[in-house]
Structure 1
Amino acid sequence: MGIQALLSADPAASHVGAHWATGLDLGVLAEVFDEAITIAIMQRELAPQLLASIAAQCAAQPWELAWRGVPDSALEQALTRSMPAPQHAGELIADVRLLAEAVACLFDVDAVGIRMRLLAGAMCPRFHCDNLPVRLVTTYSGPGSEWLPEQALERAGLGNPEPGKPEVVRDAGAIRRLTEGDVCLLKGSGWVGNEERGIVHRSPAVAAGQQRLLLTIDPEF
């Protein structure tokens, strides 16, 4: 089945909350076009072959890939050059290309911007909102990104700390975390009509000795 068919299919076992949507296949990502939705999450369990490919790339020092272009064989070649264990990277490279093609198809763009990083610490540990239209995020290994339902946050607290500024988190018990392998689209404040409602999220804490393999994909509008 082609990317277009996967994205246009009705999402299996989908659920729509106040401003989020979850499902078990790529079709749920299209829910991000709903005006009310600020985060769309595809929940998935990674296959054993993909897990093995991921583990091989995590048995190394922190590394990073930054790439922009059409998600075709050129992307696969760039990933192969960047990964520390390219001989075991086939399954992971195929998955990255699939997600990059999905972003390009969903937002009708030719090119995407990709960053893939093996991290040893939290990259953005404070809750924040991205000033961009939309971003795909998935954590292949390690703890997933955390996000706040609208009712659990105080937007006046966002930004740099200042005397008298309220706390961003109203209810710490309401913090949601993506699981390893989940794929989400985060709608930012740069999305027209969503300027005051960008999803608020942060990088999770990473324990000593733990690593996190993170992929982000931005459509190049």
Structure 2
Amino acid sequence: MSPTAALPSPDLPTATPHWVEGGGIEVLPRIFEDAITLAVLRRPLPHDLLAGALAQVRAERPLSFAWRGKPGDDLRAALLQALHCPGISDSLVEDIVILAEAMACLFDTQDVGLRLRRLDAPMCPRFHCDQLPVRLVTTYLGPGSEWLPEHAVHRAGLGAPHPGKPAIVLADAVIHRLETGDVALFKGGGWIGNEGKGLVHRSPTLGSDQPRLLLTIDPA
């Protein structure tokens, strides 16, 4: 996870970090801590998984896969049918199934909602806060999602823009970005006890020839 600049602006107030990151799976359950709104599992992507991701963004037909149900064999079969170049994409399919099963286990739910999309333009270019309990986000190719530490957010600026509304970002130097491959849990405003404090984030800007392969998973 790399910030646009590693240190916050000296003009901004400091606060106890509300995010955690690490290279082990044990970092993700920390999202249940009251003070934490972002938990990030940092991981490099192996070559076979990257090959499957590349096959999805290089195909002529854009990929937009949506699925809801109990993760397992049904999800695996649906992915193998929907994805381009299924022979090359086995590792990608297995990674998605594992993440879906982990999400179901972590939040004690039978079903999850899942979307895998090739994006050629930012999906949500404006900083915002999701009004849902929690979402898993990982970018297989392209730049990762951008987010703001709480001390850099002016929440009065959130929502639809209009004249006179204040800027959301107090200092561009503290915009953080997830790395490709990172698995992140975003706590939203719909999490009980987290109302008005959901993680503020946005889609990254994409170059003219820089598609992005994004996976999101919600507990259903």
Q: Give the structure-1-normalised TM-score.
A: 0.90
Q: Distance in 2 between matches of 1:140 and 1:191?
A: 26
Deviations 1:117-168 (CA, angstroms, capped at 9, x unpaired): 0111100000000010000000000010000000011000000112211000
SS at match of 2:194: coil
Deviations 1:96-130 (A, max 9, x none): 01100110000000000000001111000000000
Larger RCO, structure (CA 8 Å, separation 6 or more): 2
Kindly report which structure 2 residues correspond to 1:8-87, keeping only aligned pairs within 5 A, or say none. Answer: 18-61=17-60, 62-87=62-87
> Does residue 125 of structure 1 match 2:125?
yes
- Work out the CA distance in 1 between the residues paired with 2:34 and 2:196: 12
> In structure 2, what is the Cα distance between the partners aligned to 1:79 and 1:201?
28
How big is each residue's C-alpha offset from its partner over 1:39-66, in whole Å with a ceiling of 9 and x where there is no partner?
Answer: 0000111111211222222211321001
Shift of 1:74: 0.4
State the Cα deviation string for residues 186-208 of structure 1 (Å, max 9, x = none): 00000000001000000000100
Q: Distance in 1 between matches of 2:112 and 2:172?
A: 34
Q: CA contact under 8 A between 2:136 and 2:185: conserved in structure 1?
A: yes
SS at 1:123's partner residue? coil
Is 1:166 the counterpart of 2:166 in the alignment? Answer: yes
Unpaired runs of at least 5, structure 2: 1-15
Unaligned runs of 5+ in 1: 1-16
Whichever residue aligns with residue 55 of structure 1, its letter is: L
Which secondary structure state, in structure 2, belongs to the residue aligned with residue 86 of structure 1? coil
CA distance in 1, matches of 2:24, 2:213: 21
Provide the rounded CA distance (Å) in 2 between the counterparts of 1:120 and 1:161: 24
Q: Which residue of 2 aligns with 1:11?
A: none
For 1:5, the equivalent position in structure 2 comes to none
Cα offset for 1:219? 0.3
- What SS does the corresponding residue of 1:79 show, helix, strand or coil? helix
Superposition TM-score, scaled by structure 2 size = 0.91
Identity among equivalent positions (%) equals: 54
Determine the structure 2 residue equivalent to 1:157: 157
1:75-102 deviation digits (Å, cap 9, x = unpaired)? 0111111111112110000000110011
1:66 alignment partner, SS class: strand
Runs of 4+ off more than 6 Å: none
Task: Give the alignment's Cα RMSD to 1 decimal.
Answer: 0.9
Q: 1:105 aligned to 2:92?
A: no
2:118 aligned counterpart, secondary structure: strand
Aligned with 1:173: secondary structure? Answer: helix
In 2: Cα distance, 1:118 partner to 1:93 partner: 15
Letter in 2 for 1:89: S
After the TM superposition, which of the residue ranges 121-130 and 48-57 deviates more from structure 2?
A: 48-57
Following the alignment from structure 1 to structure 2, what is the Cα–Cα distance between the partners of residues 94 and 166?
44
Within-5 A mapping of 1:201-216: 201-216=201-216
- State the alpha-carbon separation in 2 of the partners of residues 153 and 171 from structure 1: 9
Aligned length, in residue pairs:
204
1:135 — aligned with what?
135
